[in-house]
Amino acid sequence: MTTALVTGTAGFIGFNLARRLMAEGWRVVGVDCETETYDPALKSARRSRLEDEPGYTHITGRIETPGLLKTALARHTPEIVVHLAAEAGVRPSIENPRRYVEANILGTFELLEALRETPVRHALLASTSSAYGANREMPYAETMRADWPVSPYAATKRATEILAHSHSHIFDIPITMFRFFTVYGPWGRPDMAYWLFAQAILEGRPIRVFNHGEMRRDFVFIDDLVEAIVRLFDAVPERPADGEVPEGDSLSPVAPYRLVNIGKSAPDTLMAFIGEIETALGLEAKKDFLPMQQGDVLATWADAGLLERLTGYKPSTPLSEGIPRFVEWYRAYQGRNRVE
């Protein structure tokens, strides 16, 4: 079996990626510490599902623990590494920025140091569309400046991009940083808007609609995100021999390093998103319209042209298809009282 090491496998994206890889015959080594950032029962349910598969090996621990990832890579010698473990979320990062620095920056540093000693064919590290920060030019392209983060979360993820570039340059580590946009779907995060909306509507409580609903997001269905990540496995960046980079490519002129957006290239309004949840639930939401929250941005919109050129693929699942699939899973999960 070909081996992939995936950090954050008890998380939303890592869990779905690990399941996809094992379905295709991969052996997956997962690393996760199952923090209590949100419902630990959900994280435990994800891990239990993975551990039922013979191709899965789980390592429990914090990625920033010195030597943990170094030992894991040396022991399992993966061909591919996908780094998804992180403290996520804009608003919690404002309340506890130190935790974000420790997990996101130090955790990524530990991985990069491990990759120095145990080379892999390709390391893919998760970043975020939040890295574009206060940049108002749309759609976001990987070649744009990303120098104005508006939250500690965004700042730590942008820092990991810069740190990864320096290691890629000095130690010739092939790295793709992918910036994903607003991801949703089955087995999602209960701190995300779509989960909170569904829960509140079913319980008859009002939902909080920030900036009076005047926001747009590039919503990406989880299966589309996983498909894009897997396709990027073979798009291994190479250091340009002459330092020349094709127009529109974010490839570094001095390192085997590239940034890639993963988005639909088609933003939806927040109100359209809410409308699809209402339709899928068969209920109308009570809405509490509020001002913009600190750290939020008005819109996200990916230019996914580079992803399509590299892989022949671009996410395309519409809300009208993705939201009902989330709602179907959500009803079933809640009906099982979080026992899986």
Q: Which residues are catalytic?
A: 153
Per-position b or e across 20-54, b if 16+ CB within 10 A of its CB: bbbeeebbbbbbbbeeebbeeebbebbbeebeeee
